[in-house]
Structure formats: structure tokens, C-alpha cells
Amino acid sequence: MKPIVFIPEPIAAVGLELLNAECDCLTPWAEAVNSPADLQNESFRAPLFESDAVIVRLFKINEGDITKVQQLKVIAKHGVGVDNIDWEAATAAGIPVVYTPTANANAVAEHTLALLLGLARNIGPASHALMDGDFNRRGEFKGVELAGKTLGVIGLGRIGLKVAQMASQGLQLRVHAYDPFVPGDTLSGLVILEDTLEALMRKSDFLTLHIPLTPGTRHLINEQSLSWVKPGCRIINTSRGSVIDETALARALTNGTLSGAALDVFEVEPLPGDHLLLKAPNTLLTPHISSSTQEALEKMSLQSAQGVLDVLHGKLPKYIVNPETLKL
Ligand code: NAD
């Protein structure tokens, strides 16, 4: 019998083709013609418990799910942030978790730059005004230039470093960063590393977040850290919603502590229709699309499918969160 691979959310054809050669893929979205499935729905989730492999995007796998799986041999994350998978429970159960860390870094970095430019030039509100027939409100949308300003990068991993390179070399921003896990104080003359988050926040005209969501980073941006920002600072988040306390952020926008926020990720997704941030001024919001480029979607599909096949074939996958689960 062929291994069963449950793929609850759409992935690009290239990965499916690779899997279809030797697996039975369960792809409920291929038949769904209307709205996207409710990922929490019990009957929608049921195939997880009888599959040999699963490929997830936002679909959550918690500790309770891990206790119920009958034959799951590998969990693949189509993406890099594995906070929707209880990978510690998977590790304890001996289930490898593979992911695709190199597939979307460029796409996310480019989206971050789009948000940075959009914030600086009020693209969101100006576009809304024009579409509402208010061309003459153009005087309200005076922007700021980026050249010579200071960009503060929080988290200098794959994505943060790419953003730093693009911003410094392409847009002539001065780039400073805070990442306690990166050694040294400068990176090839490109980025100046600060010792503390406070030092970075006090000197940045723009801040951008590129950190994983962990117990240590949850609400890193909160009432206290927002009190450190320079007047006029604008903030961008394409990492995970919960690294920011959204109530404190909405307050900082409303009282003018921050001059703008561009967000691709939210504490609760989809963002509820009555959310505070929808009423806060000077926002530019996108629905978790930083990695949604044709190129990145194909790479994530292919790398996650390859990771599944590697584990099923008893081979060491290129990108694995918990290599200790493999008995090679
Ligand atoms: P990465 O692991 O290469 O880099 C993360 C960096 O954050 C590391 O250098 C780490 O040292 C640093 N870090 C950890 N804790 C920190 C802290 N408290 N303060 C400062 N720095 C800290 O990861 P990456 O590939 O650059 O991705 C970053 C995050 O972006 C992912 O974890 C994921 O959640 C998110 N992401 C979002 C999307 C999207 O579609 N919006 C797509 C891809 C990734």
C-alpha cells in the first residue's frame, strides 16, 4: 500500500507531482470550490490521524493530536515558522519535523521592503482615499524619505539579514540590529549590532521584526518596549503576530507614540472584523502573504515534499527541526 500524505492546505503542483509518483495524497482543497476550509473543524482534521505524513501551512498540530496519530512518520512545515506545530511533543513521540527555511526568505524580505516603502509614503491610506473618490485629500499624505534614516532590525537570521542587505545597499538606510544570538558588533560593515533591544529601539526611525515566535519572544514589543521608541518611529512585522502585544500597539498608534505600523501577521488569524488594529490610524495591513510569491510557493512545495520523501525513504532530510528523532 502507498503511504498516505495529508495536505490540508493548497500547495503548488510541483511538490504534489513529486509525491504522487509514490504516495496517495489527500488534498481536500482540490475539490473545494467555495470558501477555504475551517482548519479547526474536527471532520476536516480527521485524516491526520490515519496518514503517514502531513504537510502543513497554518494548520495547527498540538500535543493532543500527537497522542492520537496512528501511523504518522513525518510532519512537514511548508514554510519556516514551526510555532503552529508542537514539535517538542512530536520529538517526544519520535516523529521528525521537516521544514523549508531557505525557500521563502527572499519573498519575505521583499514584502518587508514593500511594507517599509508603503509606510514611508502612506500608500495604504492614499490608495483608499483615491478609490473613495477623494483625490483632493492628496495633501494629507506627505511622506518621509528613507535614505539616511535608521532601520532597526530585530532578529538577524536568514530574513533579517536579507532585509538589512536590501535596505542598506538598495535604499541607503543605516542599518542597526538586535540579535543576542549573533556574535560580534558589526557584520561586514553592513549592520551595527546593538547590545540591547532598548538601545536599538531608541535610535530607529523604522523597526522591523524577524524573530521566531517562542515563549521568550511573545509580546517582545509591549507597552514598556514601545515607550523606548523615537518620536515618529514606524514598525513593520512580517514574523509572527504574537511577538507584538496588539493592544499596546493599537494604543501607541492612536496616541501618536508610533507614526505607523505595517503588519502581515496577527495574533489571531484571520484577523477578526472588529479588531482594534482595523480602527487604529496609519496602518498598512496584509493578510499573511509575505511568502506568497510564485517562486517561494513552488520552492516550499518542493522542499516540503522532498523532506517527506526523505524521511519515508529513511534518508536524512536537508532541513529538519529535530534530527534526534531519526535512527539512521
Ligand atoms: P531564522 O531562524 O533564520 O532567524 C531568526 C533570528 O531571530 C535568529 O538569528 C535568532 O538568533 C533571532 N532571535 C531569536 N530570539 C530573538 C530575540 N529575543 N531577540 C532578537 N533576535 C532573536 O529565521 P528566519 O528564516 O529569518 O525567519 C524569521 C521568522 O519569520 C520565522 O520564525 C517565521 O515565524 C517568520 N516568517 C514569516 C513568514 C510570513 O509569511 N509572514 C514567512 C517566513 C517566515
Q: Which residue has the cell 471532520?
A: 43
Cα of 63 vs centre of ligand 1, distance in Å, is 23
- Residues 2-7: what's their mean pLDDT? 98
Query: In whole angstroms, what is the distance from residue 111 CA to residue 94 CA?
Result: 36
Q: Which residue has the cell 515534499?
A: 305
pTM for the complete prediction? Answer: 0.94
- Give me the domains of the chain, ranges plus CATH numbers: 4-103+293-325 (3.40.50.720), 105-285 (3.40.50.720)
Q: Which residue has the cell 538606510?
A: 173
- Per-residue pLDDT at 328: 67
- Per-residue pLDDT at 81: 94
Catalytic residue of the set 111, 210, 234, 240: 240
Which residues share a beta bridge with 54?
Answer: 6, 75
Nearest to 321 by CA among 56, 67, 16, 108: 56
Q: Which residue has the cell 540579535?
A: 179
Question: What confidence category does residue 213 fall into, taking pLDDT thresholds of 50, 70 and 90?
Answer: very high
Contacts of 148 (CB under 8 A, 6+ apart): 172, 173, 174
Burial class (CB in 10 A: 0-12, 13-18, 19+), 34: exposed
Residue 155 has pLDDT above 70, yes or no: yes
In this structure, the residues whose C-beta lies within 6 A of any atom of ligand 1 are 79-81, 101, 104-105, 108, 154-160, 178-182, 210-213, 216-217, 220, 238-240, 264-265, 288, 290-291
Peptide bond into 101 cis (omega under 30): no
Task: Give the tens place of pLDDT for each residue, 34-64.
Answer: 666 788 888 999 999 999 999 999 999 999 9
- Per-residue pLDDT at 285: 97
**Rounded to the nearest 10 degrees, what angle do helices 13-20 and 294-312 cross at?**
20
Query: In whole angstroms, what is the distance from residue 315 CA to residue 328 CA?
Result: 7
Between 31 and 145, residue with greater pLDDT = 145
Establish whether 121 is a catalytic residue.
no
| First vs last C-alpha separation in the chain | 23
